[in-house]
Structure formats: structure tokens, C-alpha cells
Amino acid sequence: MTDIAFVRSEMATAQPAPRRVSGMIAWLHKNLFASISDSVMTIIAVLFLLWIVPQLYGFLIGRAVPPGGTVEQCRVENVGACWAYIASEIEFFTYGFYPMAEYWRPNIVFAMLALIGLPLLWPSAPFKIANALLFFIVFPIASVILLSGGMFGLRYVPTEQWGGLLVTLIISVFGICVSLPLGILLALGRQSKLPIIKTLCVAFIELIRAVPLITVLFMASIMLPLFMPQGTTVDKLLRALVGVTLFSSAYMAEVVRGGMQAIGRGQYEAAQALGLGYWRRMGFVILPQALKHVIPGIVGNFISLFKDTSLVYIVGMKDLLEAVKTKNDAIEWASPTQSVTGYIFAAAVFWIFCFSISRYSRYWERRLNTGHKR
């Protein structure tokens, strides 16, 4: 009855795609007013912004006392943020109780961090190996010598006097650089065929993860000296460094293990069949893929590590947040918005660092995408 036979007589040529509807009106319609409920939500959101933005502007800028202002200006009624307070205490927020005459020493460390650390993060920067050696070996040693002094004619500055952003950065940079390799080793150990190594790694990971960071820090500072021989003291900052790093590495281990589980057995087998030994299999084949899968998880850990550094106040360190808290009670700047301004400042500093870490990780995710997901 019907003729189902069909033979194409000429091939259809490729046509250009239909032109997208564009322009202001089309955009508004598509994104803001596509339906009644969309329109209602758009209007509510706009009203909310109209309400909140002027208030924020007034508090942060309009009625605020700019840097250089006086405390009297900060005490008037209905005043905005007291930036003058931040500006006058910025040195304490940056260095803590570090002696003022020696500020150049932390400044050099900050400069080294920027000059040596940042090129390392930039893939196309030259001299990667030399750069890495500088950063992971020379930089830490130079920093310790510079900051604590006591040699080369530098005045000795005990770690009790270090504080502010300096301490926050020391703990977080150290924590980030050490916890990732440590976490990778723990993850490998957890999958080891050797029962002792496996048990030790599992026990460590599960113990640390079952305990709050505050407890780890507390144990590190109170319990650790009890186990040490009489008279030996472990530096407070060192305890905080060790505590934060171990804590983070346990989480890192689980993230890395998650990534390794996403790698098919075929990858292990192909590497084995080529005769690659264990460390080369892991280093060249498994880990590069596993770590790539879990970049968001790793970076999440870095970000929480960065913020968790504020908990080191528990062992008596004055990190950035603790420095702000201390100065928030300072009588000479007592004013209605003093502490709010302090906290906004601290939050802004944390936000800048954490947001940068987050954006940087997105950059690596895009860069490492070799399009093998089909």
C-alpha cells in the first residue's frame, strides 16, 4: 500500500544555525520576565536590592569615617563603619605584638611569599624546578631565620609575639603545603596491601576525623608536653602548625581516596602490564587522574583549613581574627561601630583569600580538562 522504500538523491548540505534572538528586550524577557512567577520574583529581588544597597552604602561608605579620621568622628550618633579604627590598628592586625622596629622582617617574608609563591602557581612561569626548590626549601628556612632571629645579629623574637595576618598566613601556607602530600600518603597507605601500614593509616584518619579541631589543638598544646620529657617545651606556634596540618591531612586523605576510587581497574592494569612499578603507577597514572577528579574537594579542604586557622586562639596564638577581637575592646577607639567594623574587616580579608583560592582552582579544573569524558 504505502511505499516505504526511500533512497536519498542528494545529500543535505550543512546550513548555518538560525540566528539567536538577541538584544536588550529579548534578554530581559528570557531571563527576568519569562513567566508570571519569574516576574514576581524579579520584582521582589529588585525591591530587596533597592532596600539593602543604600543602607549598605550608607554604612560602609556614606556615613563611614574614612581612614585618618578621629575617634570623636566615630562616636557621633548614627555613624557608619569606623575605618579610621582599622587604619590606625592595621599594623597590629598584620603583625600582632611583633616589635615595631622589626616590621621589615615579616615584610620581607610577605614579599618572598608573593615573589616566590605566586610564580609557582602560574603554570607558564619559567624555572619551575628552581622555583619549587626555592619555595619549599629556601623560603621556609629563610622565613624562620628572619622571623625568629637570634642569629646573624637579628634580635630574637619569640613566637608568642607573632600575630595577626602573619600567623594566619604562616599556618595556612604551611598547612596547605604539607597536608596535601601527607594526605596522599595516608590515602595510599589506607589502600596498601600491607596490614600494618593499612591499619595505622585507617586508625589515624578515623581518630582525627572523629575529633573536633579544637580538641586536636587543645590536646596538642596541653597533652603533648605531658608526654614529653620534663623541661622540654614545644613551641606554641609549632603545636598549632602540627595540629592544623594533621587534622587537615586526615580529611585530605579521604578526599584523595575518593578520587582514586573513581579510577577504573583498567588503568591500574594497563600500568602494571607495561611493567611500571608501584610508585610510578601511582605517580604517573593513578594520582594525576585521581587528584584532578577531586580538585573541588581538595580546594574545599584548603579553604576550610584557611578559615580554621582562626581556631588557634585556643592555644593562645593571636591570628588575624583574634588580633581584631583583642583590639575591638581597645578603649582609645571605643565607639558604637568599632567591633562591627573590625569583624567586617576580618571577614573581608578572609573572603579575599578564600575567594582567590576558589577562583584559582576553577582555573586548574578548566586547564586540566583534556576532554576524555565522553
Partner 1 sequence: MSDVSPVVVDRDIDTTNMQVSKTEVAIEIIGMNKWFGDFHVLRDINLRVMRGERIVIAGPSGSGKSTLIRCINRLEEHQKGQIIVNGVELTSDLRRVDEVRREVGMVFQHFNLFPHLTILQNLTLAPIWVRGVPKAKAEETAMMYLERVRIPEQAGKYPGQLSGGQQQRVAIARSLCMNPRIMLFDEPTSALDPEMVKEVLEVMISLAEEGMTMICVTHEMGFARQVANRVIFMDQGQIIEQNEPEAFFSNPQHERTKLFLSQILH
Nearer to partner 1, 136 or 278 (CB): 278
Q: How far is the CB of 277 from partner 1 (least distance, A)?
A: 6
Give buried/exposed letters for 184-209 (b at 16+ CB in 10 A, else e).
bbbbbbbeeeeeeeeeebeebbeebe
For partner 1, the closer of residues 68 and 283 by Cβ is 283
267 lies in the binding site for partner 1 (CB under 8 A): yes
Window of 83-91, 107-115, 218-226, 265-273 that interacts with partner 1 by CB under 8 A: 265-273
Q: Which amino acid is at 190?
A: R
Asked if 67 interacts with partner 1 (CB under 8 A), we say no
Question: Shortest distance, CB of residue 143 to partner 1, whole angstroms?
Answer: 34
Centre a 10 Å sphere on the Cβ of residue 368 and count the other Cβ atoms it contains: 13
Asked if residue 269 binds partner 1 (CB under 8 A), the reply is: yes
Question: Which three cell numbers, joined as nine digits, stand for 43?
Answer: 520584582
User: Is residue 374 involved in binding partner 1 (CB under 8 A)?
Assistant: yes
**Measured CA angle at 348 (ends 345, 352), to 5 deg:** 145
DSSP one-letter code for 163: E
Each residue 1-40 as x (binds partner 1 by CB under 8 A) or -, in order, gives ----------------------------------------
Distances in whole angstroms, Cα of residue 98 to Cα of each of 150, 158, 168, 236: 14, 9, 14, 15
Residues 283-312 that bind partner 1 (CB under 8 A): 284-285, 288-289, 292
Kindly state the smallest distance separating residue 132's Cβ from partner 1, in Å.
Answer: 20
Q: Is the dihedral of CA 342, 343, 347, 350 positive or negative?
A: positive
- For the record, the C-alpha cell of 326 comes out as 583583642
**Residue 163 bridge partners (DSSP):** 318
- The CB-side HSE value for 296 (13 A sphere, CA atoms) comes to 2
Minimal distance in Å, beta carbon 131 to partner 1?
22
Q: How many other C-beta atoms are found inside a 10 Å radius of the C-beta of residue 242?
A: 19
Q: Coil, strand, or helix at residue 220?
A: helix
Do 112 and 139 touch, CB atoms closer than 8 A? yes
Half-sphere exposure of 368 (CA within 13 A, CB side): 16
From the list 149-157, 268-276, 295-303, 330-338, the region that binds partner 1 by CB under 8 A is 268-276
| Cβ-based nearer residue to partner 1, 233 or 272 | 272
Per CB under 8 A, the list member of 138, 238, 270, 348 interacting with partner 1 is: 270
With CB under 8 A as the contact rule, the residue among 62, 66, 277, 296 that binds partner 1 is: 277
Question: Residue 126 or residue 266: which is nearer to partner 1 going by CB?
Answer: 266
Report d(CA 245, CA 217) in Å as an integer: 10
Q: Which of 78, 156, 266, 331 binds partner 1 (CB under 8 A)?
A: 266
Helices (H) and strands (E) in the chain, counts: 19, 2
The residues that bridge with 319 in the sheet, in sequence order, are 164
Applying CB under 8 A, which part among 31-39, 142-150, 262-270, 298-306 lies near partner 1? 262-270
Shortest distance, CB of residue 165 to partner 1, whole angstroms?
37
Position 275 contacts partner 1 (CB under 8 A):
yes
161 binds partner 1 (CB under 8 A): no
Supply the minimum distance, in Å, between the C-beta of residue 149 and partner 1.
45
Instruction: Round to whole Å and give the CA distance between 341 and 325.
Output: 11
Least Å distance, CB 194 to partner 1, is: 13
The reply to whether 371 sits near partner 1 by the rule CB under 8 A is yes
- Kindly tell me which of 123 and 264 has the beta carbon lying closer to partner 1: 264
* Site residues (vs partner 1, CB under 8 A): 264, 266-267, 269-277, 280, 284-285, 288-289, 292, 368, 370-374
